[in-house]
């Protein structure tokens, strides 16, 4: 069969009219820092054609990400740059944003996200949901950043229907983006329907899973990859784009960066087959985090339980 590839990377229109490339490069290197590796990865991705880059204060590589972007010679207006507020900075949003902007040294930020709803104090203690600053208070401080002209859009990451229900009644600016774990094992259909109804775009982090991801050997994914003569990674990313999300995979290999950037369009039968994978026993689950912490006897991540985060799925 002849595989139909997209002629270019789609642009996503956010709720404020800003355009964001649907495929970006995630700059989490698997461990904190790794600045030189990150810098080289960004340089390679720019050469391949990537124009959307996603980093965070917590990744500790903003400086190297910004350096690669500046030295590329590509006009700043052609780059879409995202960074994120760290959990330890919810009480100092303005100062944290300015510090990120200084490290990036790229004139402005296109999208600034609250990385997680939970905050930590200066000692590293995770605050309870009702303790100040709550994520509602943090969001109100983020809204003020728009008046500086140094950030074009603001959004959140790792928010659920539950946390959105607590946030949205109090906002003046609806988040432009919610960046969450999304892939065929965790399509988050309810969250996607909810965000669509509110005008909030979903971006998929870990769209391929993590190292040794079961997604690469899933029988349905492999079968469809063989049918279209593409990689399993291309199937996973193309599915994310076809369902209307954006994706931010990470790779340091130029060959993989190129194939990840080459998107295809599935016929309806194959698209629905991928949509149904999560309904199979044991396949509606997180594959990006290895759970090892508990709060009050319940599985937790960064100090809040899955229940508090509003995450209702299995974990590895």
**Tens-digit pLDDT profile for residues 115-161:** 999 999 989 899 999 999 999 999 999 999 999 999 999 999 999 99
Gap between the Cα atoms of 167 and 194, Å rounded: 13
For residue 5, name the pLDDT band (cuts at 50, 70, 90): confident
So what's the pLDDT on residue 7? 76
So what's the pLDDT on residue 1? 67
Mean pLDDT value across residues 49-56: 97
213/238: higher pLDDT? 238
Cis peptide before 5 (omega within 30 of 0): no
So what's the pLDDT on residue 185? 94
Q: What is the mean pLDDT of the chain?
A: 93
For residue 305, name the pLDDT band (cuts at 50, 70, 90): very high
pLDDT at 271 over 70: yes
Mean pLDDT value across residues 276-294: 78
pLDDT at 316 over 60: no
For 61, residues 6+ apart whose C-beta sits below 8 A from its C-beta are 27, 29, 33, 34, 35, 38, 39, 55
Residue 112 annotated among the catalytic residues of the structure: no
pLDDT at 60 over 60: yes
For residue 291, name the pLDDT band (cuts at 50, 70, 90): low
181 with 290: CB under 8 angstroms?
no
So what's the pLDDT on residue 157? 98
pLDDT at 33 over 80: no
So what's the pLDDT on residue 293? 78
Copy the structure tokens of residue 183: 């892939």
Residue 268, class by beta-carbon neighbours within 10 Å (0-12 exposed, 13-18 middle, 19+ buried)?
Answer: exposed
pLDDT at 87 over 90: yes
Q: Spell out the long-range contacts of 117-123 with Cβ–Cβ below 8 A and sequence spacing 24 or more.
A: 117/156, 117/158, 117/159, 117/163, 117/304, 117/309, 118/87, 118/302, 118/303, 118/304, 118/309, 119/87, 119/88, 119/90, 119/91, 120/87, 120/88, 120/90, 120/303, 121/88, 121/91, 122/88, 122/91
CA 262 from chain centre, in angstroms, equals 19
For residue 315, name the pLDDT band (cuts at 50, 70, 90): low
271-273-274 Cα angle (round to 5): 70
Copy the structure tokens of residue 300: 């937790």
Gap between the Cα atoms of 111 and 174, Å rounded: 13
CA distance from start to end of the chain: 37
So what's the pLDDT on residue 22? 97
Catalytic residue among 59, 112, 205, 228: 59
What percentage of the chain has pLDDT greater than the value 70?
96
pLDDT at 165 over 90: yes
pLDDT at 93 over 60: yes
């Amino acid at each position: 069969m002849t595989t139909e590839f997209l002629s270019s990377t789609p642009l996503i229109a956010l709720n404020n009219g800003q355009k964001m490339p649907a495929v970006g490069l995630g700059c989490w290197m698997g461990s904190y820092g790794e600045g030189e590796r990150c810098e080289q990865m960004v340089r390679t991705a720019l050469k391949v054609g990537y124009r959307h880059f996603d980093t965070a204060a917590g990744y500790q590589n903003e400086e190297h990400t910004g350096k690669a972007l500046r030295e590329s010679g590509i006009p700043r207006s052609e780059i879409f740059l995202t960074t994120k507020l760290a959990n330890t900075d919810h009480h100092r949003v303005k100062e944290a944003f300015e510090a990120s902007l200084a490290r990036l040294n790229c004139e402005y930020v296109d999208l600034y996200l609250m990385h997680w709803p939970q905050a930590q104090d200066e000692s590293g203690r995770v605050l309870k949901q009702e303790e100040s600053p709550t994520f509602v208070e943090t969001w109100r401080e983020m809204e003020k950043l728009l008046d500086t002209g140094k950030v074009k859009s603001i959004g959140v990451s790792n928010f659920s229907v539950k946390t959105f229900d607590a946030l949205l009644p109090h906002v003046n600016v609806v988040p432009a983006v919610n960046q969450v774990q999304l892939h065929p094992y965790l399509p988050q259909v309810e969250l996607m329907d909810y965000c669509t109804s509110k005008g909030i775009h979903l971006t998929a982090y870990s769209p391929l899973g993590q190292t040794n991801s079961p997604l690469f050997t899933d029988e349905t994914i492999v079968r469809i990859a063989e049918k279209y003569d593409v990689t399993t990674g291309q199937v996973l990313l193309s599915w994310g784009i076809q369902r209307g999300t954006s994706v931010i995979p990470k790779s340091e290999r130029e060959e993989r960066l190129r194939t990840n950037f080459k998107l295809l369009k599935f016929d309806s039968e194959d698209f629905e087959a991928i949509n149904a994978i999560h309904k199979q026993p044991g396949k509606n689950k997180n594959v990006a985090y290895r759970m090892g912490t508990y709060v009050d006897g319940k599985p937790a991540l960064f100090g809040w339980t899955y229940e508090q985060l509003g995450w209702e799925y299995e974990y590895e």
